[in-house]
A and B are shown apart, each in its own frame.
Chain A
Amino acid sequence: MPQFDPSTFSSQLFWLLICFVVLYWVVSKFAIPRIGDILAQRERVVQDDLDRAESLKGEAKQALADYEAAMAGAREQARMLMFKVTSDTKATAETHNREIGEELTAQIADAEQRIATARDEAMDSLTSIAADAAKDAASRLAGLEVNSDDAESAVIAAMEGTR
């Protein structure tokens, strides 16, 4: 067997040493740093991407929270505005109602006043008309000449009596 021929051992061992040392250098100074670098870089990129995704997720969550807060604020404001408008309207309507009511009351009072005046006047003139009528009737029927003042007091007395 050629494997057990010691004359070849020295050259095999010599070249094994040379080649193994060179290969060790190639592996430790070339292959491992370069592959290690690539793997580390990939890991870094993946980690960065994961981190960014995480922060973006946080931002999205924040944005949603902001939106919801803004929404709630707007709803509240709308409710307040609605309330204000309703109460304002109610107040204005009440004021108007009151003013109109007062005006009407004033007009009614005025009208009543005028009616009372007119009636009093009418009443006054009624006495004189009745006195005239009584004086006329006395002169025509009885031929009595009654003066106006007497007739008038007689009429007043008669009206007092009927009341």
Chain B
Amino acid sequence: MATEDHGPMAQFEIKSLIDLNVGGYDISYTNSALFMTLAVICTFSLFWAATHKRTMVPSRIQSIGELMFEFVAGMVKENVGKEGMRYFPFIFTLFVFILFGNVLGLLPYSFTFTSHIIVNAALAVFIFVAVTIIGFATHGLHYLRLFCPAGTPLPVAIVLVPIEIMSYFIRPVSLSLRLFANMLAGHVLLKVLAGFVISLGIFGVVPFLAVGAVTMLEIMVALIQAYVFALLSTIYLNDAVHLH
């Protein structure tokens, strides 16, 4: 058991902190839930700190808040247009939630809730269902045109339509797997490299430096994956709002 506890996968273990059970469902407050709570608290703290002084020339923390706001707002406006701003709060929530999930997970001894496929899958499926509902609500049955663009010749359509349908339904899978795989691989790599630091003795300096370098890379990956998740969500949303 001792080796299992310190293996590269041990960091993904869900540990219950407060046991809870309602109606036969286990809803224990776990380390995963703790870090989700921390993500909420960090978001609130960041935006409280960013906005409580309200200076005309922004302070550093205010710049961070404004930057994140304008970044996501720009992304939504660029991909979905003005009418997409209705969904801006959701996309922004999605972005900061995944961002803090990824970044907090990089702290030593912390837990990365985005490295769990079920969390990502839940978010991705929610987006998939929401986009599909918005699509049918906006365009009615014309939304099915998404699978067969106007003016497609019949022989092409025979091949195209199944591919389009498949790619549509693969969206939540690719969306959740991408984030899951990135987080999993990064953390496993860090853990494996860190394991060599002690075992190699003086030569442990090499994997130690590598851990430093990979950590920097992982910070980048954490930011990029949060961006990619939010960006793909806006692109799917654009399909639902505008077809193409």
Binding site for B on A (CB under 8 A): 1-5, 7-16, 18-20, 22-24, 26-28, 30-32, 34-39, 41-42, 45
Which of these binds chain A: B110-118, B158-166, B190-198, B199-207? B110-118
Given contacts A15-B33, A32-B92, A45-B56, contact A10 B66 (CB under 8 A): no
CB pair B14–A35 under 8 Å, yes or no, is: no
Q: With an 8 A cutoff between CB atoms, is B179 at the interface?
A: no
Q: With an 8 A cutoff between CB atoms, is B211 at the interface?
A: no
Separation of A36 and B40 alpha carbons in the complex (Å): 20
Give chain A residues whose Cβ lies under 8 Å from the Cβ of B88.
32
Q: List 7 A-B contacts (CB under 8 A).
A: A11-B16, A11-B20, A13-B119, A19-B37, A23-B39, A31-B69, A35-B51
Extra inter-chain contacts (7) besides given A3-B117, A12-B33, CB under 8 Å:
A16-B119, A18-B36, A19-B37, A19-B97, A27-B92, A28-B93, A35-B69
Give chain A residues whose Cβ lies under 8 Å from the Cβ of B27.
10-11, 14-15
Give chain A residues whose Cβ lies under 8 Å from the Cβ of B26.
7-8, 10-11
Q: Mark B85-117, 1 if CB is under 8 A from A, else 0.
A: 000111011001100000000000000010111
CB pair A16–B122 under 8 Å, yes or no, is: yes
Report the tally of A-B residue pairs with Cβ distances under 8 A: 132
Residue among B39, B65, B119 making CB contact with A35, cutoff 8 Å: B65
CB pair B40–A19 under 8 Å, yes or no, is: yes
CB pair A27–B43 under 8 Å, yes or no, is: yes
CB pair A11–B40 under 8 Å, yes or no, is: no
CB pair B47–A31 under 8 Å, yes or no, is: yes
CB distance from B60 to the nearest CB of A (A): 14
**Looking at chain B, what size class is its interface with the partner chain?**
35 or more
Separation of A38 and B59 alpha carbons in the complex (Å): 12
CB distance from A75 to the nearest CB of B (A): 48
Separation of A149 and B26 alpha carbons in the complex (Å): 183
Give chain A residues whose Cβ lies under 8 Å from the Cβ of B83.
none
Give chain A residues whose Cβ lies under 8 Å from the Cβ of B9.
1-2
Give chain B residues whose Cβ lies under 8 Å from the Cβ of A30.
44, 47-48
Separation of A14 and B44 alpha carbons in the complex (Å): 21
CB pair B36–A16 under 8 Å, yes or no, is: yes
Separation of A13 and B26 alpha carbons in the complex (Å): 10
CB distance from A33 to the nearest CB of B (A): 9
